[in-house]
Structure 1
Amino acid sequence: MTFKGRTVLAFILLAMFASSIMTLTIVNPSIFAVAGKEGTAAVKSGLTTKDLNKISTTYSLIENKFLSDVDKEKVVNGAINGMLSTLEDPFTVYMDQNEAKQFDESITSSFQGIGAEVSSDDGKVTIVAPIKGSPAEKAGLHAKDVILSVNGEKLDGLTLNQAIMKIRGPKGTQAKLEIVRPGTQDPIQMIVVRDDIDVETVYAEMMSGNIGKIEIRQFSSNTAKRFKDELANLEAKGMKGLIIDVRNDPGGLLSAVVEIVEPFVAKGKPIVKIENRKGEIEATNSQGTGKNYPVTVLINKGSASASEILAGALHDSAGSKLVGETSYGKGTVQVTFEKEMGDGSNIKMTVYKWLTPNGTWIHKKGIAADIPVEQPAYFKVAPLSKKSTLKPDSNSEDVKNLQIMLAGLGLSPDRSDGYFSEKTALSVKAFQRTQNLPITGEVDAETANRLEKAILNEIKDPKNDVQLKAAVQQIQTQMAK
């Protein structure tokens, strides 16, 4: 097999956050097929006549002998899902006609939903990242949260696409989620109000000291142009250093990543590499010139796929420093086979790996930050369950989360082990006083809601973003050299 260099990139995309699964996907597989002598695609079929007869006989028995009538399409779809499930690869999925249509729309248009990328980890529907500014982020969903149910319907036994169909919904409707968060014992109940998901992907600002910051929330069809425009605007203003923020960015179009990265990488240096099942590797090399100012990239565990390609490319080929947390770890490439299915359904199958310029496969490992920085504890605190009023002398996970919130608000409870002490009650009273709430020292639903709103405001305040502060310090150090 041979690759066609930059031609390949025109057909590779990382499925955007709206899709059911975060993947690096090739939407025109024919150019990657094994070439024959005449350059035509050669496809090997491993099914013998005996195999086909066995499958056909099984269906015939179901149709004619099973106790009740069956839905033919449901049985056939089940057979396909069964075959793919034996591969034990969460990124290889079958989509029926409705799911395939949803997938196509997610690549080319906006949608309504909660605004979170999810994947299937060991059969569990898991948040990869909530999109910044989305209902999911505002409600307090975090990367690695596992969704158990939606509006009372369990997600066990569903394909990832089927689960997504339940999570998404019309603007203004509620998705009542039951989630499990790493480090917590009991499930958390959360209500997310679905909305239109913002299609704007690039946000830029000039910070003090002529340090520019460009935040990329996803990689869509207009992201590269928006990035170039904002970059040119910052450079025209005299920017001396740049921070690119891809935290909680779950991915998007690879073509956008290449366009964004290329100006920062000197000509001839690799941006990304692709490896096939035979171990053959093809690099996509830059045609850029590089920049004369330092660039730092902000990443966290919600930075996935396209974000990791950007971070790896700038780190390996442009010498950029990475600040924050180890990224998600998604390093495989999928091919879609909609034309081959012939009825509007689609199969998305893992076929390749992608590697960083240095040849590292980051799958399930992520990219480690050069300068590891954890955000304050309250950035990752779980919402309070609100099942009952929290009172002194109680001891629970809820109280522990309460104490983390109070500390984040500067109200200094004396402990953080989950025991509701007298000092914790005094801190609660101090908060209630600032909110004009009844001063009880107990945490009812209203006090809990006010606490969560207050801590979200603290999280959104740039002055509390220690990762950003570390990135600024790194840029200043490089600028001073």
Structure 2
Amino acid sequence: MAQTNSVKKDPKTLLMEKKLRKQRRNKLIKSGLAILMALLLIGTALAPIFADTYIATDELYLGNGQTLVSDSNVTYTVQAATTGTDENYHDFIDFMIDTVQSNYYKDVNKQALIEGAYKGIFNVLDPYSTYFTPAEYDSFNTSLEGEFSGIGASITEGESGYVEVVAPIKDTPADKAGLKSGDMIIKIDGVEAAGFTTEKAVSLIRGEKGTAVKLTIKRPGLTDLLEFTIVRDTIIIKSVNYKLLDNGIGYIQITEFGDKTSSEFDAAMAFMTNKDVKKLIVDVRNNPGGYLDTAIHISDYFIPEGKSIVKIDYKGTNDRTYRATTAKAPMDVAVLVNGGSASASEIFSGSLQQTGNGVVIGTTTFGKGTVQNLMPLTNGGAIKVTIAEYLLNNDYKVNGVGIIPDIKVEAPVSMTDELAASLAPINVNAGSISLNVYAAQQRLALLGYDVKADGSYGPMTKTIIKEFQTAQGLTASGLLSKETLTAIQEALVSDGSEYDPQLEAAIAFLNK
């Protein structure tokens, strides 16, 4: 038979255990009292919401769910939202909706109220989180698939209370009409657009091909409002365009990071590889972004294997870092950006910049550094909610900051007859006389070069002339030769053509 060993406890130990049991019992009693008190307080707080009676000083409760409200101008009857207890309401949203339907002076569609409540939940978060109705979700999907009928502009909700243009898509009606990044849409077909969501504005701007929409625009820096009447067209977005420039420099333009962009970019890179391109310009100006995985796929071409492309900073500790998985393409890369480059464009350009694998040229980008997740719903709509912020190498923060270019060059200038007439004349046979210097400085400044038009032929002007000559393939003497003056003259012409100083700066950088 097994023997049981027992340990005899001394009186001091027994006394201590008894004291601990008493403390635990007292603690449980206090916790129970606290819970009971909290329940009583909650019940008191909810009572005015769900009770049959009203606590008011300027209202007279008539019973049967009616209250008489009076002021010096009007007397009317308000229907109570409920005549029963709170058991008729599963949540406070139901209470609100029933109250509106019972009291609002017009008939209100309940589904519209429900969808308004859904949208309100997301409106307090950020400009990019939203609820899509079924129709809005269908429109959203169509735009990412690459074909729709509209004007061809990406828009977002701005801090001004108006929807703003992120970027017009190249060669679309919006682009040809002259819409620019940062334009605020004040009215759509005469309808005041203050407080519009992006989806509301899109629903009014899009329409059948051949029909027109009138936009009233407030442009930063201008006092007067601008009016644009734009004829809608079928917008077919080919997201990647490419070609060879002089001196064997490759050029790839990405207009968005959509469904087909990865495969289109693969084809562009295959073309560049077959042509043995060693210097490449990637243009993401006015590219409003798109899919995260597409930006990672394209960035992977230019970042060494194993290096960080982007870190997704989720709520909590579930961060994820995406790294390059393939060997870096043997190319020197310059990336063109501007204020219309947003989101996925900033991941691409910023990842190359922050890892030292590309130079960024242009103006500071939009500054959208958050990631959204799209969740389809059973009603045919969807939820788009911000789930993370992305950080680039060295934890570079994009949101609200943007990508600051390594080489700052202002946007291209569209030359007009009026602007051409305001410039001092150039005498191509007179060389570096004072008036020619002044005229050349005027034009070089319009072309984006950092030069002051003062007629003085100093060291800074000579340096700028050398930069221009290099970009044009001329001998970089710094002198205003006949060839240089002619090139400057022709760079700005009055036939509406556009000279691109940002592209020229990229070419000059790669030709060094």
Work out whether the TM-score is over 0.5.
yes
Aligned to 1:161: 199
Counterpart selection for 1:405 from 391, 402, 416: 416
Aligned to 1:444: none
Q: CA deviation at 1:186?
A: 0.9
Aligned to 1:457: 496
Any unmatched runs of 5+ in structure 1?
Answer: 1-47, 380-403, 415-453
Counterpart selection for 2:151 from 114, 118, 125: 114
For 2:418 and 2:276, the matched residues in 1 are separated by: 40
Verify the 8 A CA contact 1:336 1:347 in the aligned structure 2: yes
Verify the 8 A CA contact 1:94 1:348 in the aligned structure 2: yes
Matched to 1:254, the amino acid is L
**Is 1:467 the equivalent of 2:467?**
no
**Is 1:297 the equivalent of 2:332?**
no
Give the structure with higher Rg (CA).
2
For 1:225 and 1:285, the matched residues in 2 are separated by: 20
Q: CA deviation at 1:152?
A: 1.3
Verify the 8 A CA contact 2:411 2:502 in the aligned structure 1: yes
For 2:107 and 2:343, the matched residues in 1 are separated by: 44
Counterpart selection for 1:332 from 343, 366, 370: 370
After TM superposition, the structure 1 = structure 2 runs for residues 8-87 of structure 1, keeping only pairs within 5 Å, are 52-87=90-125
For 2:114 and 2:382, the matched residues in 1 are separated by: 13
For 2:339 and 2:196, the matched residues in 1 are separated by: 26
Q: Which string of whole-angstrom CA distances, capped at 9 and with x for unpartnered residues, describes residues 176-204 of structure 1?
A: 11101000001001111111113211111
**Is 1:348 the equivalent of 2:384?**
yes
Q: CA deviation at 1:83?
A: 2.6
SS state at 2:280 partner: strand
Any unmatched runs of 5+ in structure 2?
Answer: 1-45, 47-85, 425-492
Alpha-carbon RMSD across the aligned residues, in angstroms, is: 2.3
Verify the 8 A CA contact 1:264 1:288 in the aligned structure 2: no
SS state at 1:273 partner: strand
Q: CA deviation at 1:139?
A: 0.4
Verify the 8 A CA contact 2:242 2:268 in the aligned structure 1: yes
**Is 1:103 the equivalent of 2:140?**
yes
For 2:354 and 2:423, the matched residues in 1 are separated by: 45
Aligned to 1:36: none
Q: Which string of whole-angstrom CA distances, capped at 9 and with x for unpartnered residues, describes residues 310-361 of structure 1?
A: 101111235210001111111111122323xx31222211121011123112
Residue 136 to residue 52, structure 1, CA distance change in 2 (3 Å): same
Counterpart selection for 1:236 from 274, 277, 282: 274
Q: Calculate the TM-score normalised by the size of structure 2.
A: 0.66
Q: CA deviation at 1:279?
A: 5.8
Q: CA deviation at 1:159?
A: 2.3
Aligned to 2:71: none
Counterpart selection for 2:410 from 356, 374, 380: 374
Q: Calculate the TM-score normalised by the size of structure 1.
A: 0.70
Verify the 8 A CA contact 1:273 1:282 in the aligned structure 2: yes
Q: CA deviation at 1:263?
A: 2.1
Verify the 8 A CA contact 2:216 2:225 in the aligned structure 1: yes
Aligned to 1:91: 128
SS state at 2:497 partner: helix
Q: CA deviation at 1:210?
A: 0.9
For 1:112 and 1:198, the matched residues in 2 are separated by: 9
For 1:300 and 1:455, the matched residues in 2 are separated by: 25
Q: CA deviation at 1:165?
A: 0.5
Percent identity of the aligned residues? 35
Residue 185 to residue 66, structure 1, CA distance change in 2 (3 Å): closer
Q: CA deviation at 1:129?
A: 0.4
Q: CA deviation at 1:154?
A: 1.7
**Is 1:476 the equivalent of 2:511?**
yes
For 2:374 and 2:293, the matched residues in 1 are separated by: 17
Verify the 8 A CA contact 2:362 2:407 in the aligned structure 1: yes
Aligned to 1:253: 291
